Chain A
Amino acid sequence: MTQVAEAPDIHQTIKETVGSPFTHKPKLSTRNVDVFYDDKQAIFDVSLDIGNHEVIALIGPSGCGKSTYLRCLNRMNDTIPSCSVTGEFRLDEEDIYAKEMDPVLLRARIGMVFQKPNPFPKSIYDNVAYGPKLHGLAGNRAELDEIVVSSLQKAGLYEEVKDRLNASGTGLSGGQQQRLCIARTIAVSPEVILMDEPASALDPIATATIEELIDELRQNYTIVIVTHSMQQAARVSQRTAYFHLGKLVEVGDTNQVFTNPQHQLTENYITGRFG
């Protein structure tokens, strides 16, 4: 209720992003991003850099556009006919939305893990092997086996499923399914992994497993994670970006954002007075 009442005011107060949205030599850089669903604007002039080998958390109240922004990065919004995206997106200086950029290749470089675990109704092995087969990453069966095993190991799932790689992926528990989805994403060796509330459907123990996993994955990948849990953001990320009603309000080191937010809206959200 307060949100509705304050809305016009808020658009006034968010003139510019506070904090440090830009970094030196970013892995991903986005400038002046606007996103529309038909006539309705969902993202307003967002500029943000994502550094190499960092975990950045996107937080904010429901409906503020976190998922929308995330899906711009691997062009998943292309599949929504009503969605139009403008602005500049670069992956290592390459224009993501350029004509020459094939979304298929882009998505091999920027993987994605979804909120609800969505394994294919195939065997565990086939789930992980699908991506490498698709892109011809394995020359023969032995190489494919190798990729599957190492991906499952990196996702922390191998020990639990090594005896039943031919069992259906949908027969696993929720947490195992989500780790299977992560393994499936890793198997393609992406440079960036996007995660949209990867632990929101999981119990605390499964969540903890995923969080540990994210921490390990940071060695090799750049990770953008959307989360509703502030504790989770604090635990896994180095930087945090706070979105509000489609605008990027504040970006900064996670420590600093949580202990000393610059913007009133950020503070309200973090202290639980909002959203």
Chain B
Amino acid sequence: MSNKMNHNMNNTEQVKRSLKKRHRQERRFILLGKLSVMTGFLFLAFLLADISIKAWPAFQQSWIQLDVTFDAQNLGVEAPADEAALKKGNYRGVLKQSLYAMFPEVSARRDKKALFKLISSGAEYQIRDTLLAAPEMLGTTQQTWVLADDDVDSFLKEEKMRELQQDDRRIKDNQVAWLDQLSEQGRIESKWNWAFLTSGDSREPEQAGIAGALRGTMLTILVVLAMSFPLGLAAAVYLEEFAPQNRWTDLIEINVNNLAAVPSIVFGLLGLAVFISFFGVPRSAPLVGGMVLTLMTLPTIIIASRASLKSVPPSIRDAALALGASKVQTVFQHVVPLAMPGILTGTIIGMAQALGETAPLLMIGMVAFIVDIPQGITDSATVLPVQIYLWADSPERAFMAKTSAAIIVLLLFLVTMNLLAVVLRKRFERKW
């Protein structure tokens, strides 16, 4: 009896001793977990901060105010001119004359050229549009804001450029002097760059905008959603609920899993060969891009949907069947609605993957330089990640900021989609 008591005492001691060790283990693990989360969070914060700082200049744009004289002779039109004639006018000449008039001391050819370089090459279209909007300005002088050249823009945004040697910067000393003169007259202003969000791509950084790529991405994602969700859902429901369990379905399952691991560029090559070369779908368009990305996202959606369908308790199927529901009724009235949160999550994950995909789209020509904003799914277009890739590759300094700004737009797009996923999931989720 006492022996047994002793034994019990020992046991308790033993447990107590090991307990200390177990608690230590637990604390260590929790600390490790916290550290991991912190590391991830730090990286993310660093990335976001870095991108935001870099992107900021892209949302600001320098403008220069000119006294533009819409002289009929310089334009090369007859005094009361109609719209067609006005459109053809020599606005470049008008701009030049206006600039020379503002800086009469500049006379050498080289200097004149340098002076004209201060403003964007798109300025002539800006003043053309100004005149077209108000033709009565013909023959008058107007104070007009035009875009500054991207080199000027970069120079104005970065204080320390001034301290560099003349040879080390793209804006030379005489140009700096002119800019200072303009600045003193209040003729230089930094404005919020709406054009970045409303215009398409351009060779000139100061005119380049994200709207084309954004629209291209939206159209492409819509195509992906419209194709991959019904296809993926149907395939998953069939495989999970209706297909007989045999060697063929095993084979299909293995292949679906394999497809999910195929590098995306392969899908691009496949799309090029099948959709474009064989079926003649227009290249560079959101339609074919969406089709290629559908191939890529289908396995993800199918796998996620199947897992989600599998997790619906069999008792729910039994309940419906035992009440006399047919197989199809059971599946679509009970199983699929219950699996919907998981299916939607899988779909959104697939969409997010597709959203960030570049490689397969390069294969099908969505990397082309496209200025026009696409209006439909068969227009030539590019998408955000490809736009980022293109800009990141451009030598002009101003494109660096644009690249970061485009990344921010892409991230915002992603966040919006994920929020949508959460909202949808909440709506479909039911308490057990």
Contacts and interface: CB of A to CB of B under 8 A. Distances in A.
Interface of A: 74, 76, 79, 81, 104-108, 111-112, 114, 116, 118-122, 130-131, 134-135, 168, 170-171, 181, 184-185, 188
Interface string B288-320: 000000000000000000000000010111111
Contact of B319 (A105, A120, A171): A120
B319 A118 contact: yes
Given A76-B318, A79-B317, A114-B315, A120 B334 contact: yes
Q: Which of B317, B321, B326 has the most CB of A within 10 A?
A: B321
5 contacts: A81-B245, A104-B325, A107-B323, A121-B316, A121-B431
B323 A185 contact: yes
B130 interface: no
B209 to A, nearest CB: 48
Contact of A114 (B319, B326, B338): B319
Given A116-B315, A121-B338, A134-B329, A74 B322 contact: yes
B137 to A, nearest CB: 69
A68 to B, nearest CB: 14
A119 to B, nearest CB: 8
Contacts, number: 67
Contact of B316 (A111, A118, A185): A118
Interface of A is mostly: helix
Given A107-B322, A114-B319, A181-B319, A170 B432 contact: yes
A105 B323 CA distance: 9
Interface of B: 244-245, 313, 315-326, 329, 334, 338, 430-432
A150 to B, nearest CB: 17
A134 B329 CA distance: 9
A38 to B, nearest CB: 12
B82 to A, nearest CB: 70
B430 A135 contact: no
A79 B316 CA distance: 13
Contacts of A79: 317-318, 321
Contacts of A135: 324
Given A121-B338, A170-B431, A131 B318 contact: no
A107 B338 contact: no
Task: Give 3 closest A-B pairs by Cβ, nearest first.
Answer: A118-B315, A108-B324, A112-B322
Given A81-B244, A120-B334, A130 B431 contact: no
A36 to B, nearest CB: 17
B316 A120 contact: yes
Contacts of A104: 324-326
Contacts of B321: 76, 79, 107
Contacts of B323: 107-108, 111, 130-131, 134, 184-185, 188
B316 to A, nearest CB: 6
A22 B318 CA distance: 30
Contacts of B430: 121-122, 168
Given A81-B244, A81-B245, A170-B432, A118 B318 contact: yes
Q: Which of A122, A130, A135 has the most CB of B within 10 A?
A: A130
A71 B362 CA distance: 58
A104 B325 CA distance: 6
A134 B315 contact: no
A266 B317 CA distance: 35
Contacts of A74: 322
Contacts of A122: 430
A9 to B, nearest CB: 36
Contacts of B325: 104, 130, 134
A124 to B, nearest CB: 13
B322 to A, nearest CB: 4
Given A107-B322, A111-B323, A130-B323, 11 more contacts: A79-B317, A108-B324, A114-B322, A118-B316, A121-B430, A134-B325, A134-B329, A135-B324, A170-B431, A188-B323, A188-B324
